[in-house]
Structure 1
Amino acid sequence: MNTNDLKIFEAVASTGSFTKAAAAMFTVQSNVTARIKSLEEEFGAELISRTSRKVELTVSGKTLLQYCKQIGQLVAEAKSNVQNTDKVGGTLRIGCIETTMALKAPEILNYFQQHYPDVELEFKSQMRQVLIGEVLNFDLDAAFVSAPVNVAGLDQIRIKEEQLIILTAGGGPKLEELLAKHPVKIVTFGQGCIFRARLESWLSSKGIIQYKSTELNSIEGIVNFVEAGLGISILPQEVISKYYAGRKIVSHRLSKLLGTMTTVLVFRKDKLQSGALRVFINTYRQHINVENRPASG
């Protein structure tokens, strides 16, 4: 077995096809078939279930795929660290929920461009549970998500506490009037979004269990729809004050329980960390230490 065999196996897993895997790996299908058979003989287990219509990983195949990802990362990190012992480089894949992407991605990029110009940052926006799963599955190095996170295998650093606010259209009906309508109209991200969950909890606390939701996939879209009077929503106060202060929307405070959201940075405990990931994590650890340092004098 060599690392190329594992890459061929990963290609079959990702494409779901021996033919497509061969094209992706610039080889022929017969070689892909031979390499997969060789891996199955070496591991003593069927890795891929073959039918006339599709190719699927077996339980053993799914287990091997996780190791393939780890091995691929370790090889890439070894090359980077051996070739560049005097500087921090490589690629970091960072996940964010939509609002954290808007607030923190520019700040992170600026910092790393100044201090670690050889580190390439890749950002991905997704729902909270998807991001956590991708960190566990080695598809992301770390992710900014909302707390609490109690998942075996993950470590975390508290980043910041945010205040959430209810948003309504400026010049439109008062919030109490909007809540009295049936059904109440809300504008949110899709299922699995922390903001949607908070909004639904807030409505439930007011005895409202029926509402009509409009799902959008961007902050800009949500603000536009709220401003147009198409529903109420919930977003971090900092996002609104920083990017949408001039818009015709009205903010409404929430209770501390529902209105406070803590963002944490999660990463794997058991992963041999690259130099880039170590400096990324340490950047936030140092920031927290400075924040909590007692004032002198």
Structure 2
Amino acid sequence: MNVNDLMIFRTVAQYGSMTKAAHALNYVQSNVSARIQHLEKDLQTQLFYRNRSGITLTSVGKTLLDYTNKINILLEEAEKAVKHDSIPNGSISVGAIESTAFVRLPGILAEYHTQYPKVNISLFSDTTEALVSMILQRKIDVAFVGGPVNHPAIVRQPLFTEELVFVAGPLHPPVLSFANLYDTKLFLHKTGCFYRTKLDLWLKEEGIFPSNITSLDTLDNMMNYVKANLGVSIMVKTFAEEYTKSGIVKCYPIHKKDAFVITSFIYHQDSLMTSSLTAFIDNLHKLKDTSQTFNPE
């Protein structure tokens, strides 16, 4: 068993086809098939079920794929380690919940880019739940998430405090309470969003079970429906403020003691601390120390 065979196996598993894997690897199909057969013979087990519609992993194949993915991560880290330089360069991947990506992150990334222009930054936006999963799977280097994250493999540092508010269209009455939400159309972020989870808990506390909820993928979509006076949403105040200034929407305070939530940055405790990642995290620590919006938990 060698690493090259494992990477071919991983590609075949990814595409579910010898032909597609061979195309992706720029190999001839017979070579890919031969390498898989050699690997199965070497391990004395069957890795794939073969049928007319394609191939699927056996239970043993799934186990080997898990280990192969871990090996691939180690290989990538080994390459980074060999290319390590005291001057930040290369690349880092950053994830963020959408409101942070929109309001906070541009300034943070602009300052970092000014200091370290040789570093290429990849940005991903998703829910807190999805970003935590990406950190654990080493798919991204650092992430900005909402609420507490309690996992032994994750390092978490609180950074900002955000206020959650209800947002409604300009024609909505001047008062908005939880009681109003019983028969109001709600436009909320998809499942996995920390803010939506918090609202769900509040509604249960109030004994309110709305039946008219639409799940949307982006804040822009949520805002479009709200400003058209079609319903109510929940967002961080810093995102909604630009719209309230022009009278497009109205913000309503949420009278809950935990309406102020912490945005933190997280990373895997076993992350390879390249010079570029170290510099990024150091910048965040400086921002935390000087931020007037930060409140200790």
Report the CA distance between 1:18 and its aligned residue.
2.1
- The whole-number CA distance in structure 2 between the counterparts of 1:269 and 1:230 is 44
Asked if residue 55 in structure 1 is aligned to residue 56 in structure 2, the reply is yes
Task: Kindly indicate whether the alpha-carbon contact (under 8 Å) linking 1:160 and 1:263 is maintained by their aligned counterparts in 2.
Answer: yes
Asked if residue 164 in structure 1 is aligned to residue 167 in structure 2, the reply is no
- The whole-number CA distance in structure 1 between the counterparts of 2:10 and 2:120 is 23
Distance 1:247 1:198, change over 3 A: farther
Q: Aligned residue for 1:276?
A: 276
Report the CA distance between 1:80 and its aligned residue.
2.9
Q: Aligned residue for 1:69?
A: 72
Task: Kindly indicate whether the alpha-carbon contact (under 8 Å) linking 1:157 and 1:264 is maintained by their aligned counterparts in 2.
Answer: yes
Asked if residue 232 in structure 1 is aligned to residue 235 in structure 2, the reply is no
Task: Kindly indicate whether the alpha-carbon contact (under 8 Å) linking 1:127 and 1:193 is maintained by their aligned counterparts in 2.
Answer: yes
- The whole-number CA distance in structure 2 between the counterparts of 1:36 and 1:244 is 60
Give the alignment's TM-score, normalised by structure 1: 0.85
Aligned length: 288
User: Which 10-residue stretch deviates more, 112-121 or 254-263?
Assistant: 254-263
Report the CA distance between 1:91 and its aligned residue.
1.6
Task: Kindly indicate whether the alpha-carbon contact (under 8 Å) linking 2:94 and 2:121 is maintained by their aligned counterparts in 1.
Answer: yes
Task: Kindly indicate whether the alpha-carbon contact (under 8 Å) linking 1:156 and 1:266 is maintained by their aligned counterparts in 2.
Answer: yes
Task: Kindly indicate whether the alpha-carbon contact (under 8 Å) linking 1:144 and 1:266 is maintained by their aligned counterparts in 2.
Answer: yes
The code of the aligned residue for 1:17 comes to S
1:194-233 → structure 2 map (5 Å cutoff): 194-233=194-233
Distance 1:95 1:48, change over 3 A: farther
Give the secondary structure class of the aligned counterpart of 1:156: strand
Report the CA distance between 1:46 and its aligned residue.
5.0
Q: Aligned residue for 1:295?
A: none
Asked if residue 117 in structure 1 is aligned to residue 117 in structure 2, the reply is yes
Report the CA distance between 1:239 and its aligned residue.
0.9
Distance 1:182 1:67, change over 3 A: closer
Report the CA distance between 1:72 and its aligned residue.
3.4
- The whole-number CA distance in structure 2 between the counterparts of 1:205 and 1:174 is 24
Report the CA distance between 1:24 and its aligned residue.
0.9
Task: Kindly indicate whether the alpha-carbon contact (under 8 Å) linking 2:171 and 2:229 is maintained by their aligned counterparts in 1.
Answer: no
Asked if residue 126 in structure 1 is aligned to residue 126 in structure 2, the reply is yes
- The whole-number CA distance in structure 1 between the counterparts of 2:130 and 2:11 is 22
Percent of aligned pairs with the same amino acid: 27
User: Which 10-residue stretch deviates more, 63-72 or 223-232?
Assistant: 63-72
Give the secondary structure class of the aligned counterpart of 2:257: helix
Superposed CA RMSD: 2.6
Task: Kindly indicate whether the alpha-carbon contact (under 8 Å) linking 2:244 and 2:251 is maintained by their aligned counterparts in 1.
Answer: no
1:83-162 → structure 2 map (5 Å cutoff): 85-162=85-162
Asked if residue 25 in structure 1 is aligned to residue 28 in structure 2, the reply is no
Q: Aligned residue for 1:250?
A: 250
Give the secondary structure class of the aligned counterpart of 2:266: strand
The code of the aligned residue for 1:216 comes to L
The code of the aligned residue for 1:62 comes to L
Deviation sequence 1:59-78 (CA, Å, 0-9, x none): 42232133233123224313
- The whole-number CA distance in structure 2 between the counterparts of 1:41 and 1:26 is 24
Distance 1:274 1:258, change over 3 A: same
- The whole-number CA distance in structure 1 between the counterparts of 2:178 and 2:158 is 36
Task: Kindly indicate whether the alpha-carbon contact (under 8 Å) linking 2:49 and 2:56 is maintained by their aligned counterparts in 1.
Answer: yes
Task: Kindly indicate whether the alpha-carbon contact (under 8 Å) linking 2:188 and 2:216 is maintained by their aligned counterparts in 1.
Answer: yes
Q: Unpaired runs of 5+ in structure 1?
A: 293-297
- The whole-number CA distance in structure 2 between the counterparts of 1:124 and 1:79 is 26
Give the alignment's TM-score, normalised by structure 2: 0.85
Deviation sequence 1:91-141 (CA, Å, 0-9, x none): 211111111111233123312221111111111111221111111111111
The code of the aligned residue for 2:123 comes to F
- The whole-number CA distance in structure 2 between the counterparts of 1:46 and 1:76 is 31
Report the CA distance between 1:229 and its aligned residue.
1.5
Report the CA distance between 1:210 and its aligned residue.
2.7
Report the CA distance between 1:198 and its aligned residue.
2.3
- The whole-number CA distance in structure 2 between the counterparts of 1:46 and 1:93 is 37
- The whole-number CA distance in structure 2 between the counterparts of 1:154 and 1:41 is 39
- The whole-number CA distance in structure 2 between the counterparts of 1:68 and 1:128 is 27
Give the secondary structure class of the aligned counterpart of 1:257: coil
Q: Unpaired runs of 5+ in structure 2?
A: 293-297
